[in-house]
């Protein structure tokens, strides 16, 4: 056997061994046609560096869809997520970016349908009892009215992008309980808000699975970086007020991007 033949044989055996061991090889996104849908958690409100064309939608170059695009160079990229979007407005205003050639979709939607902004405003400005009552109203909406709205949205996504791999991302827990905060919301209020996030993520995961989509939680990524953790990746009450309770740039890059990357 010649030296060249021997080396070729060793290389072939090495590749076979890698395959047999299940060692992951670098994946290429060169053929991906990626569309990023959703609300402010996908557009990147709170992360700064908003694109001029996005206007009030506040699409940030620090948002996870943009970061993933920069790292993976997909064949095409449509970033249409918009601050304030609900399942209905995503369906009516964003799905036009999808087509039969779309291969990858990300979406966050549902928080605005159950009055997330009003919940936080109520809890910041009013009593503990009023806050907890408002959170419970939101939880009821999550359990009763939101599932049908999600089903409608997900059906629309699948209809327009029948070949796409669809990743539904969840929302973080906002507070570290028994954390460093000595002012602001009470522990009971923080616990109620965290519970609502858990319920919301549970509904999102179930409806995504029923639609054949992949759900990716961000809770693990944000653990240790909630409000009151001492190293928060989420804005507390902020100026401008629209940043409040949204991920900072580090929350997008350290929280949402890894969660999306692992599912995409």
pLDDT tens across 175-227, in order? 999 999 988 999 999 999 999 999 999 999 999 999 999 999 999 999 999 99
Closest CA to 98 of 38, 194, 33: 33
The reported pLDDT for the residue numbered 28 is 52
What's the number of CA atoms in the CB half-sphere (13 Å) around residue 258? Answer: 10
Give 91-120 pLDDT, tens digit per residue.
Answer: 999 999 999 999 999 999 999 999 999 999
Is residue 7 predicted with pLDDT exceeding 90?
A: no
Query: Where residue 44 falls among pLDDT bands split at 50, 70, 90?
Result: very high
pLDDT at 238: 85
> Bridge-partner residues for 67, per DSSP?
none
40 as an active site residue: the answer is yes
Buried b (16+ CB within 10 A) or exposed e, 31-47: ebbbbbbbbbbbbbbbb
- On the CB side of 23, CA atoms within 13 Å amount to 7
CA-wise closest residue to 121 among 245, 253, 259: 245
Instruction: Give the predicted TM-score (pTM) of the model.
Output: 0.88
Cα separation, 245 vs 70, whole angstroms: 26
Answer yes or no: is pLDDT of 35 > 60: yes
Report d(CA 235, CA 136) in Å as an integer: 23
Candidates 9, 40, 235, 236; catalytic one: 40
Structural domains of the chain, with CATH = 29-263 (3.40.50.1110)
Catalytic choice (229, 246, 253, 262): 246
> What's the Rg (C-alpha) of the chain?
21
């Amino acid at each position: 056997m010649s030296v060249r033949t021997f080396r070729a044989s060793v290389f072939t055996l090495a590749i076979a061994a890698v395959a047999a061991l299940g060692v992951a090889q670098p994946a290429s996104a060169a053929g991906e046609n990626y569309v990023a849908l959703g609300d402010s958690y996908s557009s990147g409100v709170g992360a700064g560096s908003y694109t001029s064309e996005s206007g009030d939608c506040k699409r940030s170059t620090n948002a996870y869809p943009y970061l993933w695009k920069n790292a993976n160079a997909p064949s095409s990229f449509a970033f249409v997520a918009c601050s304030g979007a609900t399942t209905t407005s995503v369906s009516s205003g964003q799905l036009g970016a999808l087509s039969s050639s779309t291969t990858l979709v990300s979406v966050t939607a549902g928080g605005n349908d159950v009055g997330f902004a009003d919940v936080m405003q109520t809890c910041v400005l009013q009593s503990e009892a009023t806050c907890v009552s408002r959170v419970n109203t939101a939880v009821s909406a999550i359990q009763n009215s939101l599932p049908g709205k999600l089903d409608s949205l997900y059906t629309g996504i699948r209809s327009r992008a029948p070949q796409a791999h669809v990743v539904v991302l969840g929302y973080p827990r906002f507070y570290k309980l028994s954390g460093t905060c000595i002012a602001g919301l009470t522990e009971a209020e923080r616990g109620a808000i965290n519970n609502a996030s858990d319920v919301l993520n549970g509904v999102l995961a179930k409806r995504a699975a029923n639609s054949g989509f992949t759900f990716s939680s961000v809770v693990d990524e944000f653990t240790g970086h909630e409000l009151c953790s001492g190293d928060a990746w989420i804005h507390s009450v902020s100026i401008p007020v629209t940043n409040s309770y949204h991920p900072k740039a580090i929350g997008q890059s350290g929280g949402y991007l890894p969660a999306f990357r692992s599912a995409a």
